[in-house]
């Protein structure tokens, strides 16, 4: 089960099966609706898993030249470029969680544009400053919203 398509189905099945199993521990009234949804959903995902595995087997039988094989059909679980994007998503989350939206947001944008996409310094600085301007002018000043300051920055500044 090494291809992405089958793995996605397996994850969906695991989510439903896990949630249904947990629902068995709820009081009857609280667990009724989750079980009503979770059990048929688990069966549907199981059926999809069978379909995926059969498709995989038939594509293997058709040989490597078959249009059913390859990355498009989920042979590669996560490509290097996908890892690259997931890492950047984590960087955004970490920076914002640590230093908040006023600092972490613009810094994340700057870093991504300059080092992630190798854009010119001018573009990266402009994007970072633009993000800061929107955070501060629109959200803080105009809409008077209290933005998250981060988990780390307030402690460091104290």
Partner 1 sequence: MGFEHMFGPLVQIVGSPYLMGLILLAIPIGMFFGAVPGLGGKLGVVLLIPFVFGMEPIAGAVFLIAMHSVVHTGGSIPSILFGVPGTGPDAATIVDGYPMAQRGEAGRALGASLGASGIGGVIGALFLAAMLPVLRPVILAFSPAEFFLLAIFGITFIAMLSGRSLIKGVSVGLLGLMVAFIGLDPHTGTQRYTFGQLYLWEGVSIIAAVLGIFAVPEMLALGVKGGAIADAPKKVAKYDLAQVLQGIGDVLRHPWLTLRTSLIGAGIGAIPGLGGDAASWICYGHAAQTCRDGKFGQGDVRGVIAPETANNSKEGGSLLPTLFFGVPGSSGMAILIGAFVMLGIQPGPQMALTGMDIVWALIWTLALANLLSVFMFVAMAPTFSLLVHVRGALLIPFVLVLSFLGAYLSESAWQNMGLLIVLGALGYFLKKYGWPRPPFVIGLVLGPIAEDSLHKALAIWGPTFFLRPMSLVFIVLIIASIGYYFWQRTRAGGIQVHSDV
Provide, rounded to whole angstroms, the least separation between the CB of residue 135 and partner 1. Answer: 8
Distance CA 15, CA 31 (A): 16
Distance CA 101, CA 110 (A): 13
Residue 119 DSSP symbol: -
Provide, rounded to whole angstroms, the least separation between the CB of residue 6 and partner 1. Answer: 9
| Residues ≥6 apart with Cβ < 8 Å to 132 | 102, 105, 106
Residues 2-61, interacting with partner 1 (CB under 8 A): 4-5, 8-9, 11-12, 15-16, 19, 22-23, 26-27, 29-30, 33-34, 36-38, 40-41, 44-45, 47-48, 51
Which residue blocks in the chain are alpha helix, DSSP H?
A: 4-23, 28-62, 80-111, 121-133, 153-157
Q: How far is CA 127 from the centre of its chain?
A: 23
Binding site for partner 1 (CB under 8 A): 4-5, 8-9, 11-12, 15-16, 19, 22-23, 26-27, 29-30, 33-34, 36-38, 40-41, 44-45, 47-48, 51, 74, 79, 81-82, 84-86, 88-90, 92-93, 96-97, 101, 105, 108-109, 112-113, 116-117, 119, 123, 127, 130-131, 135, 138-139, 143-148, 151
């Amino acid at each position: 089960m090494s291809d992405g398509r089958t793995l996605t189905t397996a994850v969906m099945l695991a989510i439903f099966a896990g949630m249904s199993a947990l629902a068995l521990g709820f009081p009857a009234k609280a667990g009724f609706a989750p079980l009503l949804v979770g059990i048929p959903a688990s069966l549907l995902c199981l059926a999809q898993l069978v379909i995926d595995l059969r498709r995989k087997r038939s594509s293997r039988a058709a040989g490597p030249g078959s249009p059913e094989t390859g990355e498009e059909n989920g042979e590669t679980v996560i490509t290097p470029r996908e890892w690259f994007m997931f890492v950047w998503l984590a960087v955004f989350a970490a920076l914002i969680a640590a230093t908040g939206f006023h600092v972490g947001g613009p810094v994340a944008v700057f870093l991504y544009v300059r080092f992630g996409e190798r854009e010119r310094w001018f573009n990266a600085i402009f994007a970072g400053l633009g993000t800061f301007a929107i955070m501060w002018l629109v959200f803080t000043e105009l809409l008077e919203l209290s933005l998250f300051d981060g988990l780390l920055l307030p402690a460091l500044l104290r």
